[in-house]
Amino acid sequence: MKQRKRPVGLLVFAVITAVVLVVAMTVSIQRASASDNVRANLTLIAPAGAGGGWDGFVREQQQAMRQAGLVGNVQVVNIPGAGGTIGLGRFSTMHERSDTLLATGSAMTGGILINNSPVGYDDVVPLAKIAEDYDVVIVPADSPLETIDDLLNEWKEDPKGHPWTGGSAGSMDHLVVANLAQEAGLKGSETTFIPKSGGGEAIAALLNGTADYAATGFNEVADQIQAGRVKALGVTGPERIEGFDIPTISEQGHDVVLANWRGMLAAPGVSDEVAKQQLELLKEMRDTPEWQDALKRNAWVDAWETGDELEKFLEEDQKKTSELLKELGL
């Protein structure tokens, strides 16, 4: 009796079905074990180059987690560019990755708006705002200016003729200038701002006469203030910085309170359970002596916010940043 041949199509279908089932099972296993990866192997992405603010932020977390034994292995990866939006764009494709977190903050909010980024905070999972620091307005040590009012009065006489310096266009430093312009009754777009890569270059611009005023991160120039190379007129925080006799800009009668905040994002599609575990890990890291020491060394302030509180903060931050960028014509 002749054996009946099976149709080739049926055989191919059976093979494909088997492959699909194997793949499905593999994916299912990976997803089921995803929560285990939160503390087994963790990657922290800094959306900027090595040595920058975000890089320092995640490396301090890395050290705190290592020394406290919170994670089996933790590494830092740098994905720089476009105010953090290149890293954000890459991260938005890492669906359901429980073993990777991305640093975020003020600069990313500005980067999303300036670059018309197709990816925003809605495309990932905001976990926590962790810390913040503040800008300081400085002038050369031999400047006759002593207060923010002195600076604003001089600036109003010739807005374009008194150049500012600070970080990149649209950065926290630039937003401080825009906010001060509003206080002075000036149009931010009609002022002069010379972007630099950091506090060191900003100080150089002040000392060589390229710029008259600078807005820059306090922790970048604190040692130069202490050494008397530059004079600090005011900080953008709600309170004075501990250990320094520098008045806030708000206590001098001007509504300029801006924080350079930093936080962490989870990948899109992570389950509520995984996000909960990631948040718990960050909480434990925040409570370590190593992280508390990092806050002091970097002149950072604890600014823990999560959940609905964080969601509201992000909405307000984007609104205020958008208004100041428009003021600057960006």
Amino acid at 305: E
pTM here is 0.83
Distances in Å between the Cα of 325 and the Cα atoms of 225, 233, 249 are 29, 24, 20
| Mean pLDDT by groups of 10 residues along the chain of 330 residues | 43 38 34 60 94 90 98 96 94 96 95 94 98 96 97 97 91 94 94 86 92 93 94 96 94 96 98 97 98 94 97 96 92
How close are the terminal C-alpha atoms of the chain, in Å? 83
pLDDT at 103: 98
Which token pair is 88?
């954000």
pLDDT at 7: 46
Handedness of CA 57, 61, 64, 66 (dihedral sign): negative
pLDDT tens-digit map of 2-53: 444 444 443 333 334 333 333 333 333 234 334 457 999 999 999 998 877 8
Q: Do domains 38-132+260-327 and 134-252 have the same CATH topology?
A: yes
CB 173 within 8 A of CB 166: yes
CATH class for the domain made up of 134-252? alpha beta
Q: Beta strand 164-166 with 193-195: parallel, antiparallel or unpaired?
A: parallel
Domain ranges of the chain: 38-132+260-327, 134-252
pLDDT at 36: 52
Within 8 A by CB and 6+ apart from 213, the residues are: 137, 138, 139, 151, 155, 162, 163, 164, 165, 206
The architecture in CATH of the region 38-132+260-327 reads 3-Layer(aba) Sandwich (3.40)
Distance CA 193, CA 213 (A): 9
Distance CA 130, CA 300 (A): 10
Nearest to 43 by CA among 73, 69, 75: 75
